[in-house]
Amino acid sequence: MSPRSWCFRLNDILQASQKIVSHTQDMDYRQFCPNDRHVDAVLHNLTAVGEVSRSIPDEIKIRYPHVAWDEMRDMRNVVIHEYFGVDLSVVWQTVQEDLPKLIKQVKEILDESDPSS
């Protein structure tokens, strides 16, 4: 896979993560849970993040071990396989605590990467 390809995939992770933040801004947990549209949008984008993370080359994952590559994949698996049994408190915690850090990390990787090389 060319560097350009994995940079595009990292950008997909960034965009999906930013959509999640957008869908949940100005909300608290009590407002989030009963709001099916927001829950569905967040779960869809978490699935996308996890799916895309699976296609990031191992050499990139090794170069950036501080990024939660396995956790992204694992969250996707939970969302996909648990269907209606997804624990929204875990999802909310992920959105509030993990996504801001992930967004920052992905931006840093993209900033130091040259997609044309």
Q: Is 117 helix (H, G, I), strand (E, B) or coil?
A: coil
- Tell me the residue type at 115: P
Provide the sign of the torsion angle of the four alpha carbons 52, 68, 57, 21, taken in this order: positive
**Separation of alpha carbons 69 and 84, rounded Å:** 24
Q: Is 83 exposed, middle or buried (0-12, 13-18, 19+ CB in 10 A)?
A: exposed
Catalytic residues: 76, 81
**Separation of alpha carbons 67 and 105, rounded Å:** 7
